[in-house]
Amino acid sequence: MTEDKKPGGPDLTRGVSLREFKDGKLLGHVGEEDVLLVHAAGDVFAIEPECGHWHGPLAEGLVVGDTIRCPWHHACFSLRTGEATRAPALNTLTVWEVTRDQDRIMVQRKRDMPKPSASHRTAPTPEKFVIVGGGGAGFAAAEMLRREGFAGSITMLSSDGAMPADRPNLSKDYLAGNAPEEYLPLRPEDYYGDASIDLRLNTNVSAIDPKTRSVTLGNGDKLPFDRLLLATGAEPVKLQIPGADQPHVHTLRSVADSRAVIKAAGSAKRVLVIGASFIGLEVAASLRARKLEVHVVAPEERPMQKVLGPEMGDFIRKIHEENGGSFHLKDTVEKIDGTRATLKSGAVIEADLVVVGIGVKPRLALAEHAGLAADRGVSVSEYLETSVAGIFAAGDIARWPDPHSRQTIRVEHWVVAERQGQTAARNMMGKRERFDAVPFFWSQHFDVVINYLGHADSYDHIEIDGSISKRDCMLRYIKAGRVLAVASINRDLDNLKAELEMERARG
């Protein structure tokens, strides 16, 4: 809670009655701290009211059993313990003791939270776990291993120079100048030492040997493992045209990439964004927030039409144009000569900053050279285990059997990567937990946030409930009579309910 914000609602130390609850919830305070009361599973719980991810309001979330789900990015928390049971939130929320005096419900003090201690970690699992990758999946796995009590060694090998970071922020608020750099790390630097996680940055892996159960590093050193998680992620597709290798032409994937674009934006006046993908348009919106003139070039008729459909595509274009962005659609950039970009149509755009967002490709070389089964991604079982026992894969490289679409799919969503890392971690410890989460991502365009749930490679038709232009809508993508995916604007609770429906209807 910010210092200038006063707590609202009733004083819970004086007590409230269940009659004052609305939809099973009541937001009050204890002293200067806001507290959310939730009547669920035959009990009353008191919990910190803001999601630990981006401070989403849990009072507007969905209660499922003895858990509550965040309306913004679908994190889930235990009402009993405050534990973040589903990414993207990782931090445990404070819970409060609830007492009853006849029909009065009172909250006066916080519950003591047990802190995990290395001396208490016991698990009947092998001792050496290696994680290749420092993104969302790799970090979530390492964090969950310690949270679940794994006592052995964890070595995390990252080719990146930055600590595991909140990647969605790189194209959204951080790039727009609305979030400071200290928001980026998923955990502070001292976390890794305290948790006995051997995080090695700027470390390349050259080979994996499933027979000797070892990883060869770029410097030739070998690292043995009992269980291995491949979470190598994806890398931007490079633009293959003359002039694409100039210093003012950027891609955006890493913390270093985002810093470089921000630095370049400081002296730039006009930016050319190549590609109308989610990443391209988020970059366009963020750089408009920095007052740059922005031009987007893409071969599609509408931005993001393939995923979201024509109506939503037209709406997104309109939002960008209303905020000063310019589109050059059904066109491509053929060459960049200095600051002069020539399009296939013959048009010329002068730009002193170019950002390329034409997609990413999964980093599969390590898996393929190790002989792991692959099919446009590393093939994994419902337990996220590859074709070699004891080697798991998660995140952007993993192709898994999705019970909702009833296909094997590979997606490049942050929330999916983190959740797969968490499931893979538990399965590395010998549990048999199916990965069956409904895919979810969100995309931000100026003051419009689109939540997308499920997965639809194709669809027969789109049902639109509400008004896209009024920013109050739910779109259902339907194939053969089944809802495969849902997109919404300002229908956060409905989106959560749709997630629950998909979970209950899976398979």
Which 3-state string (H, E, C) describes 92-137? CCCEEEEEEECCEEEEEEECCCCCCCHHHCCCCCCCEEEEECCCHH
Write down the pLDDT at residue 8: 83
For residue 34, the cross-strand partners are 29
Quote the CA–CA distance of 26 and 36 in Å, as a whole number: 6
Answer for the pair 71, 57: CB distance below 8 angstroms, yes or no: yes
The candidate with the shortest Cα–Cα distance to 504, out of 73, 64, 62, 39, is 64
Alpha-carbon 161 to chain mean position:
20
Show the tokens assigned to 496: 């959560």
Of the candidates 369, 87, 409, the one whose C-alpha atom is nearest the C-alpha of residue 230 is 369
Q: Which amino acid is at 330?
A: K
Tokens of 364: 């599969």
Q: Partners of 328 in the beta sheet?
A: 297
CA distance 280 to 273: 6
Q: Is 335 helix (H, G, I), strand (E, B) or coil?
A: strand
Under 8 Å CB-to-CB from 182, ≥6 apart: which residues?
none
Tell me what pLDDT residue 101 has: 85
* Backbone dihedral angles phi then psi of residue 413, each to the nearest 5 degrees: -105, 140
Alpha-carbon torsion (197, 89, 360, 321), positive or negative: negative
Strands 234-236 and 482-489: what pairing? unpaired
Query: What are the residues facing 50 on neighbouring strands?
Result: 57
Check residue 251 and give its pLDDT. Answer: 97
Query: What DSSP assignment string belongs to 156-212?
Result: EE-SSSS-SB-THHHHTHHHHTSS-GGGSBSS-HHHHHHTTEEEE-S--EEEEETTT
| pTM for this predicted structure | 0.95
Neighbouring-strand partners of residue 453: 440, 486
CA separation, residue 340 to residues 237, 243, 264, 343 (Å): 22, 10, 17, 10
Other residues' Cβ atoms within 10 Å of the Cβ of residue 20:
13
End-to-end CA distance of the chain: 42
Joined together, the tokens standing for residue 362 give 């999964």
Q: Quick one: three-class SS letters along 401-421? A: EECCCCEEECCCCHHHHHHHH
Walk along the chain (507 residues) in steps of 10 and give the mean pLDDT of each run. Answer: 69 95 96 96 96 95 98 97 96 96 91 58 70 98 96 97 96 95 95 98 98 97 98 96 97 97 97 96 97 98 95 97 98 97 98 96 97 97 98 98 96 97 97 97 95 96 98 97 97 98 85
Q: Which helix (H) or strand (E) holds 140?
A: helix 136-147
| The token pair that represents 31 in the structure block | 């002293």
Q: Which whole-number Å values give the CA distances from 507 to 143, 338, 453, in the listed order?
A: 30, 54, 16
* Bridge partner residues of 399 (DSSP): 379
Which residues is 466 bridged to in the sheet?
Answer: 473
Of 214, 212, 96, give the one whose Cα is nearest residue 155: 214
- In angstroms, rounded to a whole number, what is the distance separating the alpha carbons of residues 482 and 498? 13
42 Cβ contact partners less than 8 Å away, ≥ 6 residues apart: none
- Identity (one letter) of the amino acid at 53? H
| Residue 426 backbone dihedrals phi, psi, to 5 degrees | -65, -35
What confidence score (pLDDT) does residue 121 get? 46
Nearest to 29 by CA among 5, 13, 50: 13
Pairing of strands 398-402, 67-69: unpaired
276: tokens are 């109308």
Quote the pLDDT of residue 7.
81
Distance of CA 226 to the CA centre of its chain: 28
Specify the pLDDT at position 126. 63
pLDDT of res. 118: 42
Cis amide prior to 242 (ω within 30 degrees): no
Number of H helices and E strands in the chain, helices first, is 11, 35
In angstroms, the CA 383 to CA 374 distance is 16
> Which residues is 33 bridged to in the sheet?
30
Q: What integer pLDDT is reported at residue 4 of this predicted model?
A: 58
Report d(CA 198, CA 286) in Å as an integer: 35
Residue 93 vs residues 36, 45, 76, 113, 205: alpha-carbon distances, Å: 11, 12, 11, 10, 36
